[in-house]
Structure 1
């Protein structure tokens, strides 16, 4: 049995990788967490090819959620999903949603439960 995978889509490779590193601190090592940030030449932007590769790498059989940082990352994710439906693009805060999703995925929760945890992070006050 696999766990729900998490793909982090950002305009910045450093931002996506940094968030992935944070999630590795809160999730069990078995949760597939893949960063898909920046362009192949190291610039800011989102790469459909990188995203498609990240989805494949994160898929251990129990589904994949995608969290995106900004609007055009969402547009890129939607375009990729038109070609390869299955993963779930989740409308959630990038950092807080990713943390909630990673912790929930660590428990062995299913795709919808992991996605809902990410969404609910929007309503958790910071103080």
Structure 2
């Protein structure tokens, strides 16, 4: 099963760095990582349209695991959810976990299992487990 991990932050540089690290560590074809930091103009901020566009380009994915860092990045992820179709919403999971540790734990776990509940649980526990 194909899984997509969306990294949402106020900074494109932050999500680019996390994407690079996670891809080097996970290296699984079942997991696609999307760097969605910053605004469409390349400024600091967040943009729900970037998330919507990522969903549109990840049509082969059976699940979208979304990690956001701060205030308006979380709001953008929530707004993007509201803008999706019902079918897309069913596959969309905004996970309350640390951005770096949560995305890393989700990517590693998603590379070895298709159990979405287990992937989400590992991501949520990543901050306390010492991932």
TM-score with structure 1 setting the length? 0.90
Q: Quick one: which of 107, 110, 118 aligns to 2:115?
A: 110
Who is 2:63 aligned against?
63
2: distance between equivalents of 1:61 and 1:44?
A: 28
Deviation per CA, 1:9-67, whole angstroms, max 9, x where unpaired?
01001101110000001112411111111111110001111111123334533211100
Contact kept in structure 2, 1:5 and 1:60, CA below 8 Å: no
Deviation per CA, 1:72-108, whole angstroms, max 9, x where unpaired?
1111111110121231000001111111001001113
Who is 1:93 aligned against?
98
TM-align CA RMSD: 1.6
Who is 2:53 aligned against?
53
Structure 1 residue ranges, 4+ long, deviating more than 4 angstroms after superposition? none
1: distance between equivalents of 2:114 and 2:125?
A: 15
2: distance between equivalents of 1:61 and 1:15?
A: 24
Contact kept in structure 2, 1:4 and 1:110, CA below 8 Å: no
Gaps of 5+ in 1: none
